[in-house]
Structure 1
Amino acid sequence: MRNSPDDTAPLNSPPACGRGRGRAVTAAAPADNPSPNPSREREGNEPVRKCILSGERDVRPHLVRLALSPDGQILPDVRAKAPGRGAWIGVTRIELEAAIKKGKLKGALSRAFKTGEFTIDPELPAKIEAALERNALDRLGLESRSGTVLIGSDRIEQNARQGKLKTLYHASDAAEDGNRKLDQAWRIGNDVEGSGLRGLALPVSRTILALALGRENVVHIGLTDRAAAKRVSEALDRWLHFIGSEPSGPIQSNTLMGSRASVSCETASQGASASQNIGASGSTGQRPAVDMTEEFE
């Protein structure tokens, strides 16, 4: 017996709204009817935060948190683990670089942190990109170790034709005929032949994916567990949006259906998150705990 449509619907589905990336952006409350506490706004089970540069509101897994270290450095905190006050951004790398050049980021951070005593590293965009990539690959590695990741064309194709596949990814150097074969199997399994449903080509090679998953020759990746697919989709979506590598066409991103789950990567390799960088700064100063009522928390 086939599962219900809600259980079988693939996560790589056409975008419903937002800035062309398949993510739902919560609009700010009208001026004549303001939200009593913007920091308490939620979309499903997710708290909503405002990008300090664009002013748009979105759920936390779609944004990047910037943290202020004890020594006055602005650092990426992609896992939102660093203590103290933070600020959220949802722009692309190109937009961030322009904001740094024009001084817009400096002004926005001064308002968010209520101080101008900080330094913005010119390499901040590169650090954010590296942290987001590490976070996404760490998530794939975690799911692989927990047994929720499928690799191998034959195994993925079988699950795809049976309608079990929730999401599908291809390495950047995967052969086009192999991609088309699995994409077609996925459409058949979901009874959407003739649609634009297809796997997402990632901007990393099979070698990088193999290292991330601890496997050999990882060319294609499939997930059948819906919760795992959502976790991977969110981590990849945030990274791809920042680097401007979102695919065009019917499948623009991994739209999450239903409530969104926050990304949690509890691994030993915490990437370039600010919680690790701040801890390595050597400072003994302790910043105050995060105030959950702050919009810039």
Structure 2
Amino acid sequence: MSDPQRRCIATGQIREKEDLLRFAVSPDGILVLDVQMNLPGRGIWISCSQQSVELALKKGLFAKSAKRAVTVPENLVLKIDEALSQRCLALLGLGRKSGLVTVGFAKVEKALRSKKVSILIAASDGADDGKQKLKRIAGTLPVVDAFDNDELSQALGKENIVHASVGSSGLTKKITFAVSQLSRFRDHDDVN
């Protein structure tokens, strides 16, 4: 059985719910990103890309879809990016607290060599030589480089985090999905 599908208000494409962002309208008429996809009310679904959101804003599609006046927050695209980033970092922090996340070059290298890693994390502002060495060892594993040293350090509760890895557990799927959604939002252009 496949996941429920919804129609994107910007592209008109029918997609799996996981490929879309869900918005809801608060009782006072404010458009709200529903990151967890569980807010009450009729959902407004849009492809997970900046271009789709920008098109919906330009054409007034949020209000049209809601069939009522909607107050759209200023800098919506930036706020969506921030919310998706914060969800990724919060999940990584949760993984660190549960012992799922390993930090530090030597420990990550050891975990990679023992095949106990599902995701490699590299700070976007880290030195290229260390990142490249770990990427070679990681092979086909997903590599997350969407966050800088400060963001990773704050999320993982240690200073100067450049290299980290995520082991395998149920939380790994959530982290993978959250990072994938952030990446799609930042990079994917599916507007025709």
The alignment's TM-score, normalised by the length of structure 2, stands at 0.86
The alpha-carbon distance between structure 1 residues 136 and 87, as it changes in their structure 2 partners (threshold 3 A), is same
- Other-structure match for 2:178: 235
Deviation at 1:178, TM superposition (A): 0.4
Counterpart in the other structure of 1:218: 161
- Work out the CA distance in 1 between the residues paired with 2:60 and 2:137: 49
Q: Is residue 62 of structure 1 aligned with residue 62 of structure 2?
A: no
Number of aligned pairs? 189
| Structure 1 residue 182 corresponds to structure 2 residue 134 | yes
Contact 2:100 2:168 in 1 (8 A): yes
Deviation at 1:245, TM superposition (A): 7.7
- Give yes or no for the alignment of 1:95 onto 2:61: no
- Shift of the alpha carbon at 1:143? 1.1
- Are the counterparts in 2 of residues 151 and 221 from structure 1 also a CA contact under 8 Å? yes
Measure, in 1, the Cα distance between the counterparts of 2:91 and 2:143. 16
Equivalent residues of 2:23, 2:45 under 8 A apart: yes
- Equivalent residue number for residue 113 of structure 2: 161
Note closer, same or farther for the CA distance 1:102–1:245 as it changes in structure 2 (3 Å cut): closer
Q: CA deviation at 1:206?
A: 0.9
Counterpart of 2:106, as a letter, is: D
Query: Which protein has greater RCO, CA pairs closer than 8 Å, 6+ apart?
Result: 1
Name stretches of at least 5 consecutive residues in structure 2 with no aligned partner.
none
**1:175-218: per-residue Cα shift (whole Å, max 9, x none)?**
1110111112223xxxxxxxxx3653423211111101112221
Identity of aligned residues (%): 33
Q: What is the distance in 1 between the residues matched to 2:39 and 2:56?
A: 24
Unaligned runs of 5+ in 1: 1-41, 188-196, 247-297
Q: Which amino acid aligns with 1:186?
A: A
Corresponding position of 2:122: 170
1:275-294 map, 5 Å: none
Larger radius of gyration: 1
The residue type paired with residue 35 of structure 2 is V
Q: CA RMSD in A?
A: 2.2
For residue 104 of structure 1, report the CA deviation from its aligned partner: 3.7
TM-score, length basis structure 1: 0.58
Structure (1 or 2) with the greater helix fraction:
2
- Kept in 1, the 8 Å contact 2:23–2:31? The answer is yes
Runs of 4+ more than 6 Å apart: none
Q: Which has the higher strand share?
A: 2
